[in-house]
Amino acid sequence: MKKDKYFPDFVGQQSVKSQLGFYIDCYQDSDYLPHLLFAGEKGSGKTEFAKQTARNLKKRQVLVNCTTLRTIPDLLGEVLDPYQSLPTTIIFDECHGLGRDVQKALLTIIGGDGEKYTSYAFSNRNNDWQINIDFTKLSFIFATTDKQKVNTALCSRLEHIAMEPYGMPDIKRIIGRRCYDIDFDKSDKVLDAIASLSRGNARDASIKLAANKIIPYCRQKSIKKFNLSDYHEIKSIFGIYELGLNSLEFTILNYLYESKEGCSLTALQSKTGLDRAAQQDAEKYLLKLNLLDIFSGKRYLTKDGRKYIINNR
Ligand SMILES: Nc1ncnc2c1ncn2[C@@H]1O[C@H](COP(=O)(O)OP(=O)(O)OP(=O)(O)O)[C@@H](O)[C@H]1O
Ligand SMILES: [Mg+2]
């Protein structure tokens, strides 16, 4: 399939693949790639798609950990000065971590009108820099989980590539591909069950579940055909509940089940000992699964939440 020409090892993300395929095709003619910004949830594939895009351009690839680029001299000295005249794709990963001044400098360097050639001068006590950039040699790719923290003007000059949420069929394919020599018993829908433990997250499916749990479990027990009892054993070894709930989320549901009347945020926090961030993460996932409802500040179990607790206590 044409859409998978450049990304054969990646599951799903058809719209991402088709946009990137278009830009890579155009690059073959013009040597120019618009400055891209991959945005999406943690573990959705931003870094891997950025790296594969760079591989398809067939030039040197440099992956920059942006938290180390706090100042303009960091950007110039570590990245732009060394690579300015070499055909290179620079991936600014987790670009919300770039220093504020660095983001402003990149804004100036990128320009506002899709310029192919720009220059940038900067001096401090130790150094004078004169950087000349030819964007037919140098390509910029950015990636972030947090677009809000990227300079608004810089953000608006980049071509946004929004990662799509993964549906269950994609997650099942990710696990199936990674565990290619394991047979998942089709009669008991074991792949559906185990895939639901990944919470719709591609990294959790591929690494945390398939590579770190299912494959070593099968190897250790010489299992070729993975069935429902293996699924239950994995849940029990790692303390994972149905649908991938962790013990905190399970405790919240259990408490709400017992409290019947619903519960205020403060009461729930004091009962579970959760801090605000952990509480928000837990609630986000329980809301997504429609197990929890929030109404006038109070937390309630939904019908599905009640059913879940009755079936899993
Ligand atoms: N479309 C996909 N097909 C197959 N595997 C995928 C896909 N997307 C992600 N993965 C798997 O998930 C892992 C994590 O992907 P990646 O590191 O690119 O995510 P990320 O969005 O950059 O996450 P973070 O925000 O935490 O940096 C990859 O190493 C790969 O195993
Ligand atoms: Mg990443």
As a whole number, mean pLDDT of residues 169-178 equals: 95
Tell me which residue has its CA closest to atom 4 in ligand 1.
Answer: 10
Domain boundary among 100, 134, 162: 162
Residue 2: its pLDDT value, please?
57
Residue 4 lies in a domain: no
Mean pLDDT on 97-113: 93
Asked whether the predicted pLDDT for residue 3 surpasses 70, the reply is: no
Pocket test for ligand 1, best of 144, 204, 206 (most atoms within 8 A of CB): 206
273 and 256 within one domain: yes
The C-alpha atoms of residue 246 and residue 244 are separated, in whole angstroms, by 6
Give the C-alpha separation, 161 to 24, whole Å.
14
Please state, in angstroms and rounded to a whole number, the distance separating the CA atoms of residues 309 and 3.
43
Residue 76 maps to a domain: yes
Residue from 203, 204, 214 whose mutation best tests the ligand 1 pocket (most atoms within 8 A of CB) = 203
- 144 Cα: distance to centroid of ligand 1 (angstroms): 13
110-157 tens-digit pLDDT = 988 888 999 999 999 889 999 999 999 999 999 999 999 999 999 999
Q: Is residue 49 in a domain?
A: yes
Quick one: which ligand is closest to 40's CA? 1
* pTM of the model as a whole: 0.91
Residues 57, 197: one domain? no
Residues 217 and 299 occupy one common structural domain: no
Q: Residues 23, 64: one domain? A: yes
Angstrom distance (rounded) from CA 203 to CA 154 = 28
Query: Is 9 domain-assigned?
Result: no
- What CATH number is attached to the domain comprising 226? 1.10.8.60
Is residue 192 within 8 A of residue 158, CB to CB? The reply is no
2 part of a folded domain = no
Instruction: Name the residue of 4, 11, 13, 47 to mutate for ligand 1: max ligand atoms within 8 A of Cβ.
Output: 47
Q: Which of residues 132, 162, 192 is at a domain's end?
A: 162
Does one domain contain both 273 and 133?
A: no
The whole-angstrom distance between residue 259's C-alpha and the CA centroid of its chain comes to 36
Residues 208 and 180: beta-carbon distance below 8 Å = no
Q: How far is the CA of 253 from the centre of ligand 2 (A)?
A: 31
Per-residue exposure over 17-56, b if at least 16 CB sit within 10 Å of its own CB, e if not: bebbbebbeebeeebebbbbbbbbbebbbbbbbbbbbbeb
Choose the final residue of a domain: 240, 270, 286. 240
> How many A from CA of 40 to the centre of ligand 2?
9
Report the pocket of ligand 1 as residue ranges, CB < 6 Å: 10-13, 40, 42-48, 145, 174, 202-203, 206-207
Q: Which atom of ligand 1 is nearest to the CA of 48?
A: 18
Same domain, 124 and 208: no
* Counted domains in the chain: 3
- Centre of ligand 1 from the C-alpha of residue 130, in Å: 37
Q: Is residue 6 part of a domain?
A: no
CA pair distance 91, 80, nearest whole angstrom: 12
| Residue identifier of the C-alpha nearest atom 30 of ligand 1 | 203
Q: Which carries the bigger pLDDT value, residue 2 or residue 217?
A: 217
For residues 184 and 217, membership in a common domain is answered with yes
Mean pLDDT for all residues in the chain? 93
pLDDT at 235: 94
Residue 5 domain flag: no
Ligand 1 centroid to residue 47 C-alpha, Å: 7
Supply the range of the domain harboring residue 49. 14-162
CATH number of the CATH domain containing 129:
3.40.50.300
Is the domain of 32 the same as that of 147?
yes
Per-residue pLDDT tens for 242-259? 999 998 999 999 999 988
Q: Is the pLDDT of residue 173 over 70?
A: yes
**Closest C-alpha residue for ligand 1 atom 16:** 45
DSSP-derived letter for residue 63 is E
Atom in ligand 1 nearest the alpha carbon of residue 38: 21
What proportion of the chain, given as a percentage, has pLDDT over 70? 99
Q: Is 117:165 a contact under the CB 8 Å cutoff?
A: no
The domain that holds 251 is classified in CATH as 1.10.10.10
Half-sphere exposure at residue 271, Cβ-oriented, CA atoms within 13 angstroms: 17
